[in-house]
Every structure is written in C-alpha cells, then in structure tokens.
Amino acid sequence: MEEKPKVKRRIVVDAQLQYGLVRWSLTVFYAACLVFYLMINFVFVNFKFILQNNSIEATENVKQGMAELQNQANGFLGILLVAFTIIVVIGGLHLSKKIAGPIQSIKMNLDNLIQGREVINVKFRRSDYFFELQDKFNQYLEHMRAKHKR
C-alpha cells in the first residue's frame, strides 16, 4: 500500500496579510476592552460622587467595599484581556490562513504562468474562502489551454 506524502501544514502562509488581519482584530478587541474599562470606572466614580455629594451616609465599610469591588472588576478585566488576546491571536491566524492560503496559491500559479512554467489547476481546502476565485482561475486556465492547442 502506497503511503501518501505528508503535507506540510503552516500556520503563516502570507505573513504580511495574516499579521495585518491579526493586528486589525487586536485593535478592535483592545478598543472594546478600553470602552468596557471606561464604563466600569465611570460607574464606580459616579457612584462615589453620588455618595459624597448627596449627603448619603456611607460608612467606611461601604467605601472600602466599593474600592475593593472596583479593584476586583479591573483585575478581572485584566485577566480577560490576557486570555482573550491569546484567543484573538490564535483565532486570527487560523482565520487569516483561510484567506491567505488561497491568495498565495493563486499568486504562485500566476508566477509560474508569467515565467512560462507549467501551471496546474488550483484546489483550495474545503475550509478555505474564495472558491469562486478558484473556479474562475481554473476556467481561465482551461480557456488558455484550449486556445493554445489550436
């Protein structure tokens, strides 16, 4: 029985494209975290302001409890930030591979075409995007092969 050759699986296919997508994802994620952080602290600051300026008697225990709760919320947000940063980077690389892989395949075949080397039909993985691009490229190749045979 013949063994299939092992396919080398790479996470990073097109570094510039993939890292750009991951940077964009992280920017959106950090912006959302910043908004969440500001909202949490806005609530605590306003609650402290209400306690101080509306003659509401707040015991020292309530003030300490509020400060402790604010610190815990900020600490929890920090832990979430680290955990979700890891998730966004790994997920972003995985997702961007589904975009960069097909583009890289088309680029390699176009380079072969330009240099006069043999060009084979492209075949994307089932999980990749841009199947319409694959079909159009392969149709073009068939058209050029038929035209060249004449």
Q: How confident is the model at residue 46 (pLDDT cuts 50, 70, 90)?
A: confident
For residue 133, which of 92, 104, 91 has the smallest C-alpha distance?
104
Per-position b or e across 113-137, b if 16+ CB within 10 A of its CB: eeeeeebeebebeeebbbeebbeeb
pTM of the full structure: 0.61
Query: Is the sign of the CA dihedral 92, 101, 9, 1 positive or negative?
Result: positive
User: Is the pLDDT at 141 greater than 60, yes or no?
Assistant: yes
Q: Report the pLDDT value the prediction gives residue 57, as an integer from 0 to 100.
A: 65
What are the residue ranges spanned by the domains of the chain?
Answer: 15-149
Chain segment 9-21, per-residue pLDDT in tens: 677 777 888 888 8
Distance between CA 73 and CA 67 in Å, rounded? 10
